[in-house]
Amino acid sequence: MNFLTIAFSLFILSAFPEEDKFSDINIYTWTESFGFDVLKYELDLFFYEPFDTLSGKCMMFSSALGQMNIVKYHLGSDMKIDSILFNGAKAQVFERTLDTVTLRTEVLLDSGDFFSVTTFYHGKPSSGLYTAFGGFFTDVQTLQASKQWWPCVDFCGEKSDSGIDISVTVPRSLYAVSNGNLHSIDTLENNKLRFNWKHPYPISTYLVAVLCSDYAILEKDIWAGNLIYYAIKGNENTALTMLDSSEIIVSFFESIIAPYPFAGEKIGQCQSGGRGAMENQTCIRYSPGSWAATLVHAHELAHTWWGNAVTCSDYSEMFINEGTASYYELLAALELRGDSMFKERLLYIRERALKWDDDHHWPIIGSPDPFGSNVYWKGAWFYRMLRELTGDSLFFLSMKNFYSEFLWKNASSEDLLNTFETNCAMELSYFFEQWLKGVDYPNLSLNWCGNSESLCVIISQNSWSGRIYSFPLEIALWKEGRVDSILVLWMDIDSVYVIIHHDIPDSVTLDPDDKLFYRKTKEASEETAENYTALIFRVITGKSFILESKFFDGSVFLFDVAGRKVLEFNIHPGEILLWEGLSSSGAYLPNGIYLLRSDPHYLVESIFVIK
């Protein structure tokens, strides 16, 4: 296959003004700093049948970031506070405003001072606690928040530096799973068990979870750690199948990202209730609809690296979690099931994301819905296009370096941009801006025509917002049912004319390997190509031409290969014109190939004869 590359910007005809139609969008983010750093949580929970209420004790260990005498944290307004201790002494006065608890300390804390806040509480959470399969599970979309069932500083940007210890008391017939490793099980009176879990790694509050049922426990030791699947009894075979595929997925992600980040801890997955799945740190939850869904497992396991170990800076940047995990899900599809599954999934998510853009016109960064198809699926396509732009080696090097730089931290798309520009030595701000902050996509149309010595390909783009996108575009020239050659050009204007020396192909298509996020509005084929009224011919400086119209009555335009209009005139049926090779300015045109177009469109062959 031959590759014909045009590596420069081509052929500007007209440009639409770029408009920011979504400058007034306000997304729900938390930017307030509470003035301290959470170091660790210790959570002791008691769940009451029928598992819609609980009581608990939460100790929050923190360090002041500056002078302070007010401590704020979150707890859902439906939960009742029994008492609060500050550094072990009972706090006499505290206030509650909606989901925020405000505690005034009796001493002024200086930067670096350590302190603890212990909250005793009980109640029925308004959300986040659900019954399923004789037990229960906690589940929080990040904007619903963990605060509905336990006291915490509920910003995704505030990780507990040394993790969390969780003790869970439930009936003896049940098994309680949580983050980290099981340290011990205590036998209590009244047929109760207390499961004590410890997780010393940094964790965001929305990734803390408890899942409880009469589980069958399936285990598989692999080099990365201990794969454990907590299966609802009667569904062990499904779990075993997913356990095997999870081994392949984890091994694959380790090879292209980094070793499993939570060294020494389980790679835990749980069958449970609800909808969809949730990437709880080291204890992923799957709803019944996803118990046997391999690619859902791949997506959630990808979150181990993208979302858990590296977490978005705030909810407007959810793309760092979900767009990245969605792309690595695609890579897992290729690893597990080959090209056909990869291509099928790739085209499926593109169509879903295009439809989402048509319905909403929301950006990826700052999306009013941080969990929309634009964030997931268009986000995945962002990475596909970025990889095509940088090449495989630089792409995966940049992703590895991004991961290692922000391991256990929070990151933004700006951080991702800086990493890629540093590693690739490329200016990529335009790429990040148009795809992550733009609200739509390019619509592309294709026309082509040719004669015995030249081929003309005409490509136009437009978008809902009027944005003109910049991207590399592949154009396939087909012969006898296969791609004969590929023309690669840089598209950063609204219309491009490409004239090349090439035999007339059977057909011409755009983006043959599906590398671009776009919608095709028109793609010419062998049957329709000749209907584009254009004629390609060679001008020799100083030589005259005779133009004859057989049927045509209208305007005629002459363009050079840069897409510049150099001549315009009218011609009528039966009229013969002598053209001396001069432009509209009266200067001779230089030697070269030119494109003659008419308006309105008729068949080229019936309009002009050039002698």
| pLDDT band, residue 603 (cuts 50/70/90) | very low
- Note the pLDDT of residue 3: 37
* Over residues 93-116, mean pLDDT: 94
pLDDT tens column, 158-215: 999 999 999 999 999 999 999 999 999 999 999 999 999 999 999 999 999 999 999 9
Judged by DSSP in three states, 341 sits in: helix
What mean pLDDT comes out for the span 50-54?
Answer: 97
For residue 136, which of 288, 286, 274, 280 has the smallest C-alpha distance? 274
Query: 396 by DSSP, 3-state: which?
Result: helix
Mean pLDDT of 15-42: 56
Q: What is the mean pLDDT of the chain?
A: 87
Tokens of 414: 């700006």
First to last CA, the chain: 36
DSSP H or E run through 384: helix 379-390
Residues forming beta bridges with residue 6, ordered by sequence position: none
pLDDT at residue 18 greater than cutoff 50: no
The pTM for the full model equals 0.84
Phi, psi of 82 (to 5 degrees): -85, -45
Closest by Cα among 346, 367, 233 to 295:
346
What are the strands of the beta sheet with 181-188, ordered from one edge?
Answer: 89-90, 79-86, 114-123, 53-64, 36-48, 164-171, 192-199, 181-188
Residue 29 has pLDDT above 70, yes or no: no
CA gap 202, 208 in Å, rounded: 11
- 491 Cβ neighbours under 8 A, 6+ residues apart: 442, 459, 461, 469, 470, 471, 472, 473
Task: Specify which residues 41 forms β-bridges with.
Answer: 60, 164
More confident residue, 188 or 569: 188
- The average pLDDT across 529-555 equals 63
Residues 6+ apart with CB under 8 A from 97: none
Residue in 566, 594, 567, 476 with CA at minimum distance from that of residue 525: 476
Q: Is residue 410 over pLDDT 70?
A: yes
Taking the CA atoms of residue 369, residue 398, residue 329 and residue 410 in that order, the dihedral angle to the nearest 10 degrees is -40
| Cβ neighbours of residue 367 closer than 8 Å, sequence gap 6 or more | 27, 316, 318, 374, 375
CA distance 254 to 258: 5
Residue of 433 and 579 predicted with greater confidence: 433
Q: What is the dihedral of CA 326, 330, 332, 336, to 10 degrees?
A: 140
Q: What is the mean pLDDT of residues 494-515?
A: 85
Q: What distances in angstroms separate CA 466 from CA 115, 353, 362, 490, one per listed residue?
A: 54, 19, 15, 19
Please report, rounded to a whole number, the percentage of residues in the chain having pLDDT higher than 70.
86
Return the residue matching tokens 């002459």: 558
Taken in order 465, 466, 470, 472, the sign of the CA dihedral is positive
> CB-based contacts of 593: which residues, under 8 Å, 6+ apart?
454, 499, 536, 537, 538, 539, 561
* Angstrom distance (rounded) from CA 400 to CA 377: 21
Q: Two tokens at 611?
A: 């002698």
Can you tell me the mean pLDDT for 528-532? 38
The closest of 44, 46, 42, 45 to 190, measured between CA atoms, is 46
Burial of 448 (0-12, 13-18, 19+ CB in 10 A): buried
Residue 155 vs residue 551, higher pLDDT: 155
State residue 594's pLDDT score. 72
Type of residue numbered 122: H
> Which tokens hold the place of 602?
């008729």
Mean pLDDT over residues 560-589, rounded?
A: 80
Sequence-ordered list of residues with C-beta below 8 angstroms from that of 340, at least 6 positions apart, any chain: none
Mean pLDDT of the 479-485 span? 92
Number of residues in the chain: 611
Position 145 scores a pLDDT of: 74
Q: Which two tokens stand for residue 306?
A: 């993208």
- pLDDT, tens digit (0-9, with 9 covering 90-100), for 286-344: 999 999 999 999 999 999 999 999 999 999 999 999 999 999 999 999 999 999 999 99
Phi and psi at 389, nearest 5°, equal -75, -40
